[in-house]
Amino acid sequence: MKIEPKFVVKVAGTLTAISLVVAALLGVVNGMTKDIIAQFNKEKTEAALSAVVTDAGAEFVPMEITDELSQAAAGQSGKLTELYEVQSGGSSIGYAMKIVAGGSQGDIEMVVGVDTAGAITGISVVSHKETSGIGTKVIGNEATTSGVGALDQFVGLSGAGSLVVKQNIMPVSGATVSTQGITKGANAALAVVEALA
């Protein structure tokens, strides 16, 4: 069976026209929603920042992310995307940072708080793609076998690279990989603070 060249040109032209229309429509939709999405992400980040510090009046002062700090996070399998000095009454009480680490179904974006002594003050998840009913148990801070919340168990721990699942970090049953993702983020945050010292 021989295909006529006119037919190939016609199909290619039709597909090209459809692609151009769809691309234009996606551009319009993106233009209409990008500010709304950015505002939503900003609000979620602000809520997560507040959740990882104990001082209700804390201020978050943005800091520059240097290559050294990025490399410190990457050395613990995390990506540093935002960094803040946490201040209370004009004094530094620690740091808060947004870290991205790989989970079971994709990236987990979290905010990790670390005090001036280098201990974690809290972890709050901003976004994730973890499996509903499994990985979301970790994100939702459900209790581990030790009875402590999956995220709460990190509070007070320190030492970049020292946090290890099934050693000093208990996984949520059936969600070990999600627990490992949070652990990577916690180790990355601790590495960043150690690099700041």
Token reading at 16? 């090209």
Distance CA 6, CA 9 (A): 5
Q: In this predicted structure, which of 47-61, 81-95, 170-184 has the lowest mean pLDDT?
A: 47-61
pLDDT in tens, 153-166: 999 999 999 999 99
Which residue matches tokens 């234009």?
24
Which residue matches tokens 């974006």?
109
Identify the band that residue 47 occupies on the pLDDT scale cut at 50, 70 and 90: confident
The domain segmentation of the chain, as residue ranges, is 52-196
Highest averaged pLDDT of the listed ranges 48-52, 146-150, 187-191: 187-191
| pTM (two decimals) | 0.80
Which residue matches tokens 């996606």?
26
Distance CA 94, CA 100 (A): 20
Token reading at 153? 């168990």
Confirm if 154 and 123 have CB atoms less than 8 A apart: yes
Distances (CA, A) of 120 to 112, 158, 170: 7, 6, 16
- The type of residue at 84 is Y
